[in-house]
A and B are shown apart, each in its own frame.
With several copies, the nearest count.
Chain A
Amino acid sequence: MYSEKVLDHFSNPRNVGEMADPDATGEFGSSHCGDTIKVFLKVEDGVIQDIKFKTFGCAAAIASSSMMTEMVRGMTIEEALQLTNEMVAEALDGLPPEKMHCSCLAADGLHKAISNYRDGIR
């Protein structure tokens, strides 16, 4: 049911954890299934230097979170705002239809963190 890439990112998620001194954090919870992501950002000159996450959710949610962090590291925050859930799902070689909503978590959590960053919320 899951692609190799999903299974890989689920078993060995990249960039899991918290950050001692983040420039911003963002938390986002799916109203649909209760899955929740917390994103920690380190931003320098408008570029995402470091990113960490913690996710509560199914394999699709965890893999999407991991993939998202891989995709946006090194992006400007403007570029990162263009990232969509579909792009994350695609990068994972797709998700089962009934799991598509789980990928929403990743981009939405990221955007929340960026918006907090812009608003100066840590």
Chain B
Amino acid sequence: MRRIYLDNNATTAVRPEVLEGMLPFFTEAFGNPSSLHWAGRQASPAIEQARREVAALINAKEEEIVFTSCGSEGDNLALKGTVEALQSRGNHIITTAVEHPAVLDTCRFLEKKGVEVTYLPVDREGLLDLDRLERAITSRTILISVMWANNETGVLFPIREIGALARKHQVRFFTDAVQAAGRVPVDVEEAQVDLLSLSGHKIGAPKGVGILYIRKGNPLAPLIHGGHQERRRRAGTHNVAGIVGLGIACRKAAEELETVPTRVTVLRDRLQNGIVSLIPEIKVNGALGLRLPNTLNLCFAGIEGEALLLRLDMEGIAASSGSACTSGSLGMSHVLEAMQVNPLLGQSSVRFSLGRNTTSEDIDRVLEVLPPSVQKLRDMSPFWKAGSRCCAVCLSQ
């Protein structure tokens, strides 16, 4: 059976050129970059090369890049590290209700430790109210944490405007760019971002590597104490092969930033328009004009998302319901909840996230498989009556 992977927001395959570049660092050039001998000297320049490539993708300086093990680590380091470093200055964080669990769960932990957290709401399209954000800033505010792009809906936040606000009020600004970096232009200078997290496995690098960008002059307490690696900002022997892979993936993403997103947008829009025209009573989640090129999140009134996922899976199509992290848990995603999606409708959400390898044939196949799959589940749903008030109500919300 032909397999179609439309879950690139959960993870991506390692690019062949990335794997190729990594391979020598497992067996031949296996040294610890902290070692002074030949084996160490095989590894350390490769790390610095990767640092340059990552820095170039986001327009940062090399020394502002700290290698981490994943996006979640970067998020935790940014939040906890700032709270720890700036505790004398204040204890208030502003974030949004739709952040990734790596931010939200960390904020809840920090609340237990006495930090005050404001969770800004979003509107029905998933958008923030910037005035509200500005009004939330107090003299005790030490950090604004707003993701660059939402992983479930793909909604892009006005990072540049938030950066300007943060600068104006002299508050640090952290953005979780795990879904954005390498997919849309990300420029820490232009956006006036102070901290930014990125995860390799979302852009064709392997799992187990990421970065936190830390603007010069924004000292953080480390999350992982120990050796002198990463200028004491992150201890632990470097994941050399992973870091090399991340460097190549960032270089490739930068090279393709003009072409791939354009192509992916066309495919995503074709998928969206196809679904809208073939399947009645669906809802596209997230502001249409303000999304990542690759993401399409929909509700299919009357059915349950996970059942639809499994049906697609049986046809070889991989998609997801909410984020991969929460699709193991039940009920509606916190993102759709924050967008005030009707709870019954919210349970029917499915996310298609395209990748650089997605083809037109893939989209054709989804448009062939999806309508009968939805219909079959609707036929067995006690909540489904075509044109019924229930669904009409759902959709109008």
Contacts and interface: CB of A to CB of B under 8 A. Distances in A.
A68 interface: no
Interface in B281-334: 302-304, 306-307, 310-311, 314, 328-331
Contacts of A10: 307, 310
Nearest to B378: A56
B383 interface: yes
Contact residues of B: prevailing secondary structure: loop
Given A37-B382, A98-B330, 17 more contacts: A2-B310, A13-B380, A33-B330, A33-B331, A33-B347, A34-B331, A38-B382, A55-B380, A56-B304, A57-B304, A57-B307, A58-B304, A58-B310, A58-B330, A61-B304, A62-B380, A98-B328
A17 B307 CA distance: 17
B343 interface: yes
B331 A55 contact: no
Nearest to B380: A16
B36 A1 contact: yes
Contacts of A35: 304
Contact of B382 (A13, A54, A98): A54
A27 B381 CA distance: 12
Contacts of B306: 58-59
A35 to B, nearest CB: 7
A17 B382 CA distance: 9
Given A1-B41, A59-B310, A34 B344 contact: yes
Interface residues of B, number: 23
Interface in A35-50: 35-38
A11 B314 contact: yes
Nearest to A7: B314
Interface of A: 1-2, 7, 10-11, 13, 16-17, 27, 32-38, 53-59, 61-62, 98
Contacts of B41: 1
Contacts of A7: 314
A32 B307 contact: no
B379 interface: yes
A16 B380 CA distance: 6
Contacts of A59: 306-307, 310
Contacts of A37: 382
Contacts of B344: 34
Closest 6 CB pairs of A and B: A38-B382, A33-B330, A54-B382, A58-B306, A59-B310, A16-B380
A7 B314 CA distance: 9
Contacts of B384: 56
Nearest to A13: B380
A56 B331 contact: no
Interface in B151-165: none
A16 B310 contact: no
B328 A55 contact: no
B211 to A, nearest CB: 23
Nearest to A32: B330
A48 to B, nearest CB: 20
